[in-house]
Amino acid sequence: MAQRGFLKSLLIVSTLAFTAVSCKPKDAKDCGFVKNVYGQNISWKTKEPIPLVINSSVPSQLRPAIYRAIKTWEDHAGEKLFRVIEDSSQASASPTKDGKNAIYFMHTWESNRQSEQGRTSVYWADDQIMESDIRINAANFSFYDQEPTQLVLASGIDGTVNALSNSDGYNFEALVLHELGHFLGLKHTTDRSSVMVTHLSAFTNRTVLSESDSESIKCAYK
Ligand SMILES: [Zn+2]
């Protein structure tokens, strides 16, 4: 009797395994994308360019970097991916799930996550991204666009410059390129040549996609 019970449970296990295999989606190729519970790559399944609001908190001297980072992804995807909106009122004043995509320069950051350079929230349903918001940690990191000596110093919400902010500077275009990768659905990688490596080192101009980044983006966009 006990043995029959064992055989029965074995059958159930093998049936489940078979079902799981047969449900494996066609686009299960890894490609570096975040996956939903079904193992499908999540991405924006739209032919329209994705609206992205630049919040008023982003300094004007750093904004050209956002456009270049966008162009880099678009050049490799082979299509226009973004529609930039510089009117801050088109999205919430601070990052929240509001149905709008926006990028924010944050002057407050969680005290237990201060080493985090940026954070991109991605909301999806099924395998389709519905919304994404990018936070830049401007409370703890100083940024430059192309000229490392012209730093936008890390500062608090009251404008107080962070005492440590003169020692390091970070390439804003490189960070935005990385966060836009998340925005499009990509996850982190350990491939040192990729822009999707977790941490951006100080004064490192990581503004060019690796071969693998280029291949990844073409998996979902072209
Ligand atoms: Zn990241």
Q: Report how far ligand 1's centroid is from the alpha carbon of 126 (Å).
A: 22
Q: Which residue has the higher pLDDT, 50 or 15?
A: 50
Is residue 201 assigned to a domain?
A: yes
Is residue 24 assigned to a domain?
A: no
Domain of residue 137: give its range. Answer: 29-220
Q: Report how far ligand 1's centroid is from the alpha carbon of 192 (Å).
A: 13
- pLDDT number for residue 126: 95
What CATH number is given to the structural domain containing 190? 3.40.390.10
pLDDT tens, 172-194?
A: 999 999 999 999 999 999 999 99
- pLDDT number for residue 166: 67
Q: Report how far ligand 1's centroid is from the alpha carbon of 1 (Å).
A: 54
Is residue 109 assigned to a domain?
A: yes
Q: Report how far ligand 1's centroid is from the alpha carbon of 108 (Å).
A: 19
Percent of the chain with pLDDT over 70: 86
- pLDDT number for residue 18: 45
Is residue 146 assigned to a domain?
A: yes
Is residue 12 assigned to a domain?
A: no
SS (H, E, C) the chain: CHHHHHHHHHHHHHHHHHHHHHCCCCCCCCCCECECCCCCECECCCCCCEEEEECCCCCHHHHHHHHHHHHHHHHHHCCCCEEEECCHHHCCCCCCCCCCCEEEEECCCCHHHCCCCEEEEEEEECCEEEEEEEEEECCCCCEECCCCCCCECCECCCCCECCCCCCCCEEHHHHHHHHHHHHCCECCECCCCCCCECCCCCCCCCCCCCHHHHHHHHHHCC
Is residue 20 assigned to a domain?
A: no
Is residue 93 assigned to a domain?
A: yes
Q: Report how far ligand 1's centroid is from the alpha carbon of 196 (Å).
A: 6
Quote the pTM value.
0.86
Is residue 17 assigned to a domain?
A: no
Structurally, the chain folds into a number of domains equal to 1
pLDDT tens, 42-75?
A: 999 988 999 999 999 999 999 999 999 999 999 9
Residue 13 binned pLDDT confidence (cut-offs 50, 70, 90): very low
